Structure 1
Amino acid sequence: MQSSPIHGLLVLDKPAGLTSHDVVSLARRAAGERSIGHLGTLDPMATGVLPLLIGKWTRLAPFFSTADKHYTGTIRFGFSTDTFDVEGTPTSELKPLERSLEDLRVLAQRFQGTIDQVPPVFSAKKIGGVPAYKLARQGKPVEMKTARITIHSFKLEGAEGDTVRFSMRVSSGGYVRSVAHELGELAGCGAHLSSLRRVQAGPFGLSEAVTREQLIEAANVGTVRDLLLHPRTVLPEFPAVAADEPSLAKLRNGQAANLPEYSEAAMVKVFRGQTELAAIGRRIAGTLFQPHLNLL
């Protein structure tokens, strides 16, 4: 158990078999903090980058809501499933893949750019306030609305038998499973996502991620705080500025304050000292900022 409240951002390398909610529960126990939220759901079969906001930092979630994601994984051709991935029930008869890798690459080009995508029925998308997957498991009809997403790149890297390796960069809200399913339909034999690893979420990559075992070990010795990203490296698009106590008091009370920040940035990160993120400030004019978000 940690000696004092923890506030910050932790990047976890999620193992297969855990839901994103399972990871949040693990982090709550490790940090001794109830207020924890993840930035972008990963399915249980998926592994990789899952950023977690802890404590007061959960208020920063809106700043990360549109972050792009980078994935690697494999697609197995030959049959489709109801979940569009390997954990689902087959929905088509086994049929051999008769397309070459080059043929599939040509088909994959149809998914480049901005497209309208239908999310999987077995997904966390809410319908009338209820996650779609819950309705689907109850056998209730589920009508999914299309969502506009952008696939920045979709590369088929190689093939072994009926399984193709790929990499994809996609905007927030995009489902790799749906692409795998639709590519299988175009190929004429069905397909599903057989493995998935998120290697980057916004600015956060695997190089910054810690494993479940590292988090548990840190919890045992009381060093979870040491696993957090340095506060000044988060939201790098916002300049960082240190404020004195009178200025912090003004911001905390919703008043504007003059800060020693001379760039033309519209938003800044305001710190007490070097590491305590106190607020996000919005520039009014010159060096005068009003509090956009208070963390004190």
Structure 2
Amino acid sequence: MHPALQSYLDGKVLLLDKPLHWTSFDVVKKIRILTKISKVGHAGTLDPLATGLLIVCTGKYTKKINEYMGMEKEYTGSFTLGATTPTYDLESEPQNLTDLSQLSLQEIHDAPIHFTGDILQVPPMHSAIKREGKPVYLAARKGEHVVLEPRPVTIKEFVITKIDLPKVYFKVVCSTGTYIRSLANDFGKALGVGAYLSSLCRTRIGNFLLGDAWSMNAFEEEIRSLIEKEQHLPAIESSDIKMADQSPIE
């Protein structure tokens, strides 16, 4: 590890804006490569098709990961109405196309009330939840039917911010463990037309805001800048140290 990056080894909490198509582990791996530090972890997975705030801890602050994971989350994004997908998002092809002509705007605005508060939510079959030590998405990809039990989650706020059919834009504030993909699927069921998650951005975790996060490019530039600055610092000669020690005290 480069001496300029000692603070990362000691421990830092990094706020990063996860790029589209990156996995959360891709971000962790990139930080390990840039800093040459192995003790790096993230506090809450974002799917590859989601963007937004990812908390990454290094050094001794990895002990705080569970604390950050338990914090309230805020998301914005869009559902596409009139179809479903097996993964509940754009990772798989839309199917079961449905006509939206009989759907009113008022119905769309009213639907979130059914999913606000303490609710039971069934996670997607295509998720990293483990059964018998293996992620259930592996079985789902093989076409095996996986039955998952409903889990208690809390959705503090769920509002429709814009309607541009077939897309519906939303804001959600929820507890950890909430699957927005499942919320999209359940929202479509409630309206009788089907829906899938077409975009998602995590904008807040606890009091940590996306607006304060580094882009991956900016973070990489910062690390390279720290290293370059140290490399260009003038070397301290031993004679300089000796002369400074012998200077009279005024």
Counterpart check, 1:39 vs 2:43: yes
SS in 1 for 2:214: coil
Contact 2:43–2:66 at 8 Å: present in 1 too? no
Aligned to 1:250: none
**Quick one: which of 83, 101, 107 aligns to 2:105?**
101
C-alpha distance in 2 between matches for 1:45 and 1:199 = 15
SS in 1 for 2:162: strand
Contact 1:73–1:197 at 8 Å: present in 2 too? yes
Aligned to 1:200: 204
Counterpart check, 1:69 vs 2:73: yes
Contact 1:78–1:97 at 8 Å: present in 2 too? no
Q: TM-score, normalised by structure 2?
A: 0.85
Q: CA deviation at 1:93?
A: 2.9
C-alpha distance in 2 between matches for 1:116 and 1:10 = 32
Aligned to 1:57: 61
What pairs with 1:1-296 in structure 2 (closer than 5 Å)? 2-3=2-3, 4=6, 5-96=9-100, 98-222=102-226
SS in 1 for 2:109: helix
Contact 1:6–1:33 at 8 Å: present in 2 too? no
Letter in 2 for 1:141: H
Gaps of 5+ in 1: 224-296
Contact 2:53–2:202 at 8 Å: present in 1 too? yes
Q: CA deviation at 1:114?
A: 0.2
Letter in 1 for 2:2: Q
Q: CA deviation at 1:66?
A: 1.7
C-alpha distance in 1 between matches for 2:74 and 2:190 = 23
SS in 1 for 2:125: coil
Letter in 1 for 2:78: T
C-alpha distance in 2 between matches for 1:98 and 1:91 = 19
Letter in 1 for 2:141: R
C-alpha distance in 2 between matches for 1:187 and 1:24 = 39
Q: CA deviation at 1:6?
A: 4.4
Q: CA deviation at 1:158?
A: 1.4
| Matched pairs, number | 224
C-alpha distance in 2 between matches for 1:126 and 1:143 = 12
C-alpha distance in 2 between matches for 1:53 and 1:102 = 44
Instruction: Write out per-residue CA displacement over residues 148-183 of structure 1, whole angstroms, 9 at most, x where no aligned residue.
Output: 000000000111121111000010000111111111
C-alpha distance in 2 between matches for 1:2 and 1:177 = 41
Contact 1:12–1:49 at 8 Å: present in 2 too? yes
Q: TM-score, normalised by structure 1?
A: 0.72
C-alpha root-mean-square deviation of aligned residues, in Å? 1.7
Instruction: Write out per-residue CA displacement over residues 80-129 of structure 1, whole angstroms, 9 at most, x where no aligned residue.
Output: 00111122232413433532222112221100000000001111111122
C-alpha distance in 1 between matches for 2:83 and 2:192 = 10
Contact 2:84–2:94 at 8 Å: present in 1 too? yes
Contact 2:81–2:165 at 8 Å: present in 1 too? no
Contact 1:81–1:192 at 8 Å: present in 2 too? yes
C-alpha distance in 2 between matches for 1:96 and 1:89 = 19
Which moves more between the two structures, 206-215 or 139-148? 139-148
Q: CA deviation at 1:134?
A: 1.9
C-alpha distance in 2 between matches for 1:154 and 1:12 = 25
